[in-house]
Amino acid sequence: LTCSAALLQEVGPTMVGDEHSDPNLMQFLGAMKRNMLGNHFWEYYVNDPPRVVLNKLESCGYRVVSMTGVGQTLVWCLHKE
């Protein structure tokens, strides 16, 4: 699972998945599905800041494995035991 957020928007929204993500998990996170103009894929996002999303995912058994910055975006990779 990967979460990402633009650096300038550290209070949200947070992208939490793509069109192949677990719909039950997306519902738990309160995620909405959208297609941004010009993209040929769908993504799930929430208006919560990353810290809120990461806390929710931790309560489901996910743990942060790594984190990096890509341009103006922060990306967290998580693993569920």
List of domains in the chain = 2-80 (3.30.1410.10)
Q: Which two tokens stand for residue 61?
A: 């058994």
Q: How far apart are CA 71 and CA 69, in angstroms?
A: 6
Split at pLDDT 50, 70, 90, the class of 2 is low
User: pLDDT at residue 5 above 80?
Assistant: no
Q: Residue 70 carries which DSSP code?
A: E
pTM of this prediction exceeds 0.75: yes
Query: Would you call 14 helix, strand, or coil by DSSP?
Result: strand
- Between the alpha carbon of residue 18 and those of residues 33, 43, 58, the distances in Å are 8, 4, 19
pLDDT digits (tens, 9 = 90+) for 6-62: 544 467 789 999 999 999 999 999 999 998 888 888 999 999 999 899 999 999 999
